[in-house]
Structure 1
């Protein structure tokens, strides 16, 4: 994951337990890293034929840099988007997609509708990112409510 983030000119913000946070200068780089992460995990040979699946959430915004790292509603929103997904899934907000400068590698966006995510004031339109080699079928999002 770290290699994919670095290759897309991203910056590792924090890693703890089962969480990994990264920041990118633009949405295009975040999408490239997310797809590369998923493809890399799927292609890797894991011991005992296990599978390692991660969920990825992408959002755009202006976080604040504090002594403890990036903070603010944009960071909180990205974490909530990620938490709504399933292993192997890449989710993004409509704001992240709107800021995407170029679609690459046959990437498409499937609207999943609006969802009320925990501790966010308003429902958020969420999209599943689909690209060659990525799983496309997942259970319903893990969310408090469909908006």
Structure 2
């Protein structure tokens, strides 16, 4: 299995469909990265290509504010940024509770921020928990890929959790939050559907479009 920093998912692409000068490389201290059972959080800005196209200068300033707000939320809950590229973050947390609390704080901070008129910064987030091994400055872990795929099917402003993460935080959710089951969903590169949950936060939007999940594979017809 490859070392993941990650190799795909939201944090693997530059913003704006290829604005490579906005990429920020991260070389985390290996000793600081959580190991064992880790909760991974992926984020990225919805519609960043359109935002760059419509007002590059305003977007550049908004991107700086977006990074600051999210980095503060991650740090407050012991999150370690493994990688960030443009409008995306890949973060590791020692526990599911800390990751969920960081996601809540991040979304609340983004919602309260005075963005420039006409520039709506909406960030999708996806979380999954699993066993992970630190190798070099990254991870060897299939759960990383699942977390990235969960984030990829979300809409801006939406926080999605795997069933594993949801089970770990079910009785210890932050105040003013709740989980809504979205049923089993198909994720790209994963053959079997898996339960996905939406984290609802009081005062923030809770209604989003249908998840952008992978299409059901075609049925195999018997040979004549």
Counterpart selection for 2:190 from 113, 120, 124: 120
TM-score relative to the length of structure 2: 0.62
Matches within 5 A, 1:51-62: 51-62=120-131
Higher relative contact order (CA 8 A, sep 6+): 2
Separation in structure 1 between the aligned mates of residue 176 and residue 110 of structure 2, nearest angstrom: 19
Deviation at 1:136, TM superposition (A): 0.5
Separation in structure 2 between the aligned mates of residue 99 and residue 71 of structure 1, nearest angstrom: 22
Which has the larger share of helix?
2
TM-score relative to the length of structure 1: 0.93
CA contact (8 A) 1:115 1:126 kept: yes
- 1:21 counterpart residue number: 90
SS of 1:70's equivalent in the other structure is: strand
Query: Aligned pair 1:129/2:199, yes or no?
Result: yes
Cα-to-partner distance string for 1:2-37 (whole Å, 9 max, x where unaligned): 000000111111101332011111101011000111
- 1:30 counterpart residue number: 99
Gaps spanning 5+ residues in structure 2: where? 1-69, 218-224
Dislocated runs of 4+, deviation >6 Å: none
Matches within 5 A, 1:31-110: 31-100=100-169, 102-110=172-180
Separation in structure 1 between the aligned mates of residue 132 and residue 215 of structure 2, nearest angstrom: 26
CA contact (8 A) 1:115 1:145 kept: no
Number of residue equivalences = 147
Query: Aligned pair 1:111/2:210, yes or no?
Result: no
